[in-house]
Amino acid sequence: MERYSRQLLVLGVELQEKIRKIRAAIVGCGALGTGIAEL
């Protein structure tokens, strides 16, 4: 998880592991994200 070392400092290992297991995540809800979130 060296790739995510800065995230680990903020989120911690446990939360980062949960995020890793998620199949899809929408980050930000600009014009495109809002449309995708409605699906």
For residue range 1-39, what is the model confidence (pLDDT) as tens digits? 578 888 889 999 999 899 888 887 666 667 776 777 776
Q: What is the pLDDT of residue 29?
A: 63
The Cα 6–Cα 3 span in angstroms is: 8
Instruction: Say whether pTM exceeds 0.75.
Output: no
Q: Which amino acid is at 11?
A: L
Domain coordinates in residue numbering, the chain: 2-37
Q: What is the pLDDT of residue 26?
A: 64
The Cα 26–Cα 10 span in angstroms is: 19
